[in-house]
Structure 1
Amino acid sequence: MNRNKGFTMMELLIVIVILGLLASLVAPKMFSKQSSSMRKIAKAQMQMFETSLDTYRLDIGDYPSSISELRKSDRPNWDGPYLPKAVPLDPWGNDYVYKTPGKDGFPYYLASLGKDGQEGGEGDNEDIIHQ
């Protein structure tokens, strides 16, 4: 008698349950890493802005009125572009907030408003401020 060898339905169900359990243990850790990675990217981009803003200030004498002036400006002594590429969006696809002068005596205010793009918030929605 020639029987086809294969898996029974019970064996397949056991494998699916095991894979589901493994996925439920691994997935939350992976998604929490994504959130912290997005925040680290925003902080790194803002540090790049800081370097560009300081270089601009050294050439011009003060900080730009808008962050787009790091790419193109007709001010005297402008020696840019001060950013190698177009002004990036934050990791969540929102514009960075840039104001000069900044709050509390800082020369400028630079922030990412987090995932929700709104001021304030907690967790992924928390603002990331660089002054």
Structure 2
Amino acid sequence: MKRKLGFTLIELLVVMAIVAALLAIVAPRYMNRIAVAKEAALKENLSALRIGLDQFYSDRGTYPEALGELVERRYLRAMPVDPVTERRDTWVPVVREEEGGRKVVRDVRSGAPGKATDGTLFASW
């Protein structure tokens, strides 16, 4: 009697169960790593913006009136992307009033909603 080549339904189900079990173990770790990478990129982009603000102040003796001035005056090549919101326009400038009533940007925060993996709000960074 000749045996046909191929897999039985039971063999296929066993293999699929093993693959599903492995994916159930790996998928949550992968998703957590994506969140951690976005948070690291967000911190780096905030640092670049703050360095640009400090350099602007160091060169000109005053802070810019808007974040866009950092790009216009070539302190940044382009406004960085907020990796959590995946947009460039969600940065929240921290505005202070200088002598003479001029409002300037002295700091910047993320406009991303929600919390980081450590429980802090993105808006507090």
Q: Using structure 2 for the length normalisation, give the TM-score.
A: 0.78
| Aligned residue identity for 2:23 | A
| Aligned residue identity for 2:27 | A
Q: 1:50 to 1:122 in 2, by over 3 A?
A: closer
* Runs of 4+ that moved beyond 3 A: 121-125
Q: Within 1, Cα distance between the matches of 2:121 and 2:14?
A: 42
Residues 74-113 of structure 1: per-residue CA shift (max 9 Å, x gap): xxxxxx30002x21231122411112229xxxx7231113
Matches of residues 92-111 of structure 1 in structure 2 within 5 Å? 92-94=85-87, 95-101=90-96, 108-111=106-109
Q: 1:112 to 1:96 in 2, by over 3 A?
A: same
Greater relative contact order (CA < 8 Å, ≥ 6 in sequence): 2
Q: Within 1, Cα distance between the matches of 2:3 and 2:32?
A: 48
- Comparing 3-12 with 21-30, greater Cα deviation is found at 3-12
Stretches of structure 2 lacking an aligned partner (at least 5 in a row): 98-104
Q: Within 2, Cα distance between the matches of 1:110 and 1:16?
A: 49
The alignment partner of 1:100 has SS state of strand
Q: Within 2, Cα distance between the matches of 1:62 and 1:24?
A: 54
Match of 1:122 in 2: 115
After superposition, the CA RMSD in angstroms is: 2.2
The alignment partner of 2:75 has SS state of coil
Q: In percent, how many aligned pairs have the same letter? A: 28
Match of 1:90 in 2: 82
Matches of residues 43-122 of structure 1 in structure 2 within 5 Å? 43-72=43-72, 80-84=73-77, 86-91=78-83, 92-94=85-87, 95-101=90-96, 108-114=106-112, 116=113, 121-122=114-115
Q: Is residue 94–residue 109 contact of structure 2 (8 Å, CA) maintained in 1?
A: no
